[in-house]
Amino acid sequence: MLWIASFVSNVGTWMQNVGAVGLMTELTASPVLVALLQTASALPVFLLSLPAGALADLLDRRKLLILTQTWMALVALLLAGMAFGGFASPWLLLSLTFLLGLGGALNNPVWQSVTPQVVPPAELPQAIALNSVSFNLARALGPALGGLVIGYFSAGAAFLLNGISFLGTIYMVYRWQRQPQPASTLATERLVMAMRGGLRYARFSPPVQRILLRGAAFTFGGSALFALMPAVVAQRLLRPTSFYSLLLTCMGLGAVLAAVLLPRLNRRLNIDNRVALATAVFAGGLLGLGYVDAPWLLYGLLALVGMAWMLVLNSFSVGVQTVVPRWVQARTISIYLLVIQGGMALGSVVWGAVAERAGLPLALAGSAIWLLLSLLLVRRYSLQTPPEALDHTPARQRPEPVLAEEPAPAEGPVITTTTYRVAPENRPAFTYYMEQLGRIRRREGAIGWGLYADLADPDRLMEYFLSESWEEYLRQHQRGVGREEAELKVSLRRLHEGPEPPHVSHLLAQHHHPVSGHPPMPPGSTRLVASTAGEVT
């Protein structure tokens, strides 16, 4: 039912797009103002993608979905009122389109992050494929329905239907029965800190880095299709706009067929092979668009291109939703969406400039060559992830520090140190494991990390990591020890020598507050708030 509601809403969105373009062409003959409609829709994604992902991780996702869907419904109804009331103007239409885009930008990360909560992990690829089917079917039907509505009634009717289309999604989300999540005793993380945490996680997570790099490379090359296809139809093929619509419909049907074949392809091909095959097919479609003239052959090529586009983006979407834990999931999705949009935007400009100088066929051939060369990235940036790395259930909880006194939540920074004794012959292996642990520390929220040797006692090595505040340390502590981290700590513990286990200390930064009768403390002083010997934190 949620899928059906989403499909109806997507159809309404495409009707809205057609209605906005139709109304703008009635209000003005300026091509700049018509083009600005696309800018007004896309700009909110670049402005709000990161904050939207952070909000989706911090707030109740169900309530946030209801809020964003309600916002878009109200803006669509305002557009309808503007059109029916006869006081429409180009700049008012652009402003309301921008406000509608704001709702979409806030909605997208939370909507995608909800999918893993609704379906089991084994069915996630098919669920994401169904979302793609919903979008592509709506792309095929929405513009046609929008044209009929505008032809028989007006653009205001298209806006009104779009506003009504959100009501089904709002109702289904309202009825969504979720599994209760463990309640946290900590205050909600601040928005800016949460955004930094998402960027830090992506920076120190190799699986996320690989998906972002491969996604940017693919969309940069693939953007040539969407940027140049209208010009190819009008200038090279000398065909009417209806032919362009037919090509888009063929792409949508190809995406639907790919969704049907996806379970079989997933069983027979790993993710790298699926992406490589689909990328090669997409590159062939670009070459066909540049040099093939026969309409029926182009229809078949565009259907294959639609299949390839869906398979590649489905692989990336499944990857980015499964390689990260829930606490940072929406933030990672928002970064992924921003990278994909950036690749599309930059690629459109580059391939458009190439087409202007060298011609449409050469620009499309250049983008096809780029896509084929991007396949070389698989050697170093494979998308395959071991199944055990996809299990984000904590291996164990962290040991509770023994505190002399409980710091205030905002106090900090906090330095956590762990002291080992390591024989010289074990130093290379210990350093290797520790560097892997340092990456995990920083990924999980540490703003600093290091490993130091005692000059007076070379066998004594101390690891430290820096947390922004005591509350932020507790937030990291509450997430528990992941499986990768637990395995590394077992290896490190084996290399530790001596009768006592590694010694752990927590030190809190001290800031000078003048008190009568007491000498000032030197700047940068710290005090010991906890000291334990035992299990490594």
Looking at the structure, tell me whether residues 443 and 527 fall in a common domain.
yes
Domain boundary among 179, 213, 236: 179
- Nearby residues of 305 by Cβ (< 8 Å), 6 or more positions away: 225, 251, 254, 281, 282, 285, 286
pLDDT above 70 (res 529) = no
Q: What is the DSSP letter of 396?
A: B
Question: Could you tell me if residue 405 is inside a domain?
Answer: no
Tell me what percent of the residues of the chain surpass a pLDDT of 70.
Answer: 82
Per-residue confidence band for 120, with pLDDT thresholds at 50, 70 and 90: low
**Nearest to 339, CA basis, from 198, 133, 225, 228:** 198
Which residue did the predictor score with more confidence, 435 or 42? Answer: 435
Per-residue confidence band for 415, with pLDDT thresholds at 50, 70 and 90: very high
pLDDT mean across residues, the chain: 82
Q: Give per-residue pLDDT as tens, 171-223.
A: 777 777 656 555 555 666 788 888 888 899 999 999 999 999 999 999 999 98
Reading the block at residue 535, the tokens are 């299990």
Helix ranges (H only) for 359-482 are 360-374, 427-444, 470-478
Question: Could you tell me if residue 61 is inside a domain?
Answer: yes
Looking at the structure, tell me whether residues 213 and 274 fall in a common domain.
yes
The 3-state DSSP class for residue 401 equals coil
Domain boundary among 179, 210, 240: 179
Looking at the structure, tell me whether residues 107 and 167 fall in a common domain.
yes
Question: Could you tell me if residue 289 is inside a domain?
Answer: yes
The residue segments making up the domain with residue 155 are: 1-179
Question: Could you tell me if residue 77 is inside a domain?
Answer: yes
Looking at the structure, tell me whether residues 365 and 337 fall in a common domain.
yes
Looking at the structure, tell me whether residues 165 and 281 fall in a common domain.
no
Mean pLDDT lowest for which of 70-79, 270-279, 374-383, 513-522?
Answer: 513-522
Looking at the structure, tell me whether residues 50 and 133 fall in a common domain.
yes
Looking at the structure, tell me whether residues 112 and 138 fall in a common domain.
yes
CATH number at residue 443: 3.30.70.100
Question: Could you tell me if residue 370 is inside a domain?
Answer: yes
Per-residue confidence band for 35, with pLDDT thresholds at 50, 70 and 90: low
Which residue type is seen at 331? R
Looking at the structure, tell me whether residues 116 and 234 fall in a common domain.
no
Looking at the structure, tell me whether residues 197 and 116 fall in a common domain.
no
Looking at the structure, tell me whether residues 39 and 157 fall in a common domain.
yes
Question: Could you tell me if residue 343 is inside a domain?
Answer: yes
Question: Could you tell me if residue 397 is inside a domain?
Answer: no
Q: What is the mean pLDDT of residues 370-391?
A: 86
Domain boundary among 335, 362, 392: 392
Question: Could you tell me if residue 211 is inside a domain?
Answer: yes
Give the residue carrying structure tokens 């930064």.
Answer: 509
Which residue did the predictor score with more confidence, 502 or 20? Answer: 502
Mean pLDDT lowest for which of 141-145, 214-218, 253-257, 442-446?
Answer: 141-145
d(CA 301, CA 288): 7
Domain count, the chain: 3
CATH number at residue 203: 1.20.1250.20
Q: Give per-residue pLDDT as tens, 128-143.
A: 666 666 676 676 666 6
Which residues make beta-bridge pairs with 417?
464, 505
Looking at the structure, tell me whether residues 293 and 366 fall in a common domain.
yes
Looking at the structure, tell me whether residues 201 and 266 fall in a common domain.
yes
